[in-house]
Amino acid sequence: MEGLNLSEEKEKFSEKALKDFDLIDAAFNNNNQKAYAELMERYRKPLYHTILKMVKNTDDAEDLTIEAFAKAFRGLHKFKKEYTFSTWLFRIGTNNCIDFIRKKKLDTMSMSAAFKDESGDEVRLDLADTSLDPQEEAIKAQKIEWMQMIVNKLPIKYQKLIDFRYFQELSYEEISEKIEIPLGTVKAQLHRAKELLFDLIKERKDFI
């Protein structure tokens, strides 16, 4: 992990951004689980709401938020302190949205998203192209692979629900009929499964 020296950091970044740098150092260098948890606590809600504006679906937004944190924690060694952590994380999140939107073949010609990072600079993302090139296909396949590795850490009943919903792309109603449990129970258990995925990302990084 590369970055500026201490005096340069203090001149360029806000107190919150500097605190993020300390947390990243603790997480990356010392495998401090509390540091991972605090980083997630700081940015989970704003990242979720940014993603929700793009995909217009709460379940999809939750899943993409999980993926963004998993990818960020896995790639902390690539983080450079020339940028704020929030800018880096939100770019990861919005890039995941691009992959998702392209996969779903949504109309993206008029879609855009923007947020302000810790330095007050606006980061804007405009989406237009809906085709997947070979490199993007490879990235999508890799993402599915590591997401499956995370899911495999869940209890069996949650693994099955995640598989039905997000790998087989069944509707809630189809899952309810398939496993013969009430629709409300399906939704509640899927919500719990996603909460457990967040916990796994916070507590362990060696498998993501």
Name the pTM for this structure.
0.57
At 80 the three-state DSSP class reads strand
Residue that wins the pLDDT comparison between 204 and 72: 72
Give 38-87 pLDDT, tens digit per residue.
999 999 999 999 999 888 888 888 888 888 898 888 888 888 888 899 99
- What is the spatial distance between Cα 141 and Cα 147, in angstroms, rounded to a whole number? 10
- Mean pLDDT across the chain, nearest whole number? 75
- What is the spatial distance between Cα 31 and Cα 59, in angstroms, rounded to a whole number? 30
Domain 132-208 part of CATH 1.10.10.10: yes
What the block records as the tokens of 135 is: 């490199």
Q: φ, ψ for residue 182 (rounded to 5)?
A: -60, 150
Supply the pLDDT for residue 47.
93
- Side chain identity at 13, as an amino acid letter? F
- Give the residues across from 205 on adjacent strands: none
| Domain limits, the chain | 7-131, 132-208
CB-CB contact of 141 with 106 (8 Å): no
- The matching CATH number, chosen from 3.40.50.10420, 3.30.830.10, 3.90.1150.10, 1.10.1740.10, for 7-131 is 1.10.1740.10
- CA nearest neighbour of 102 among 127, 68, 73: 127
Give 79-131 pLDDT, tens digit per residue.
888 889 999 999 999 988 888 887 765 443 334 444 444 455 554 444 444 44
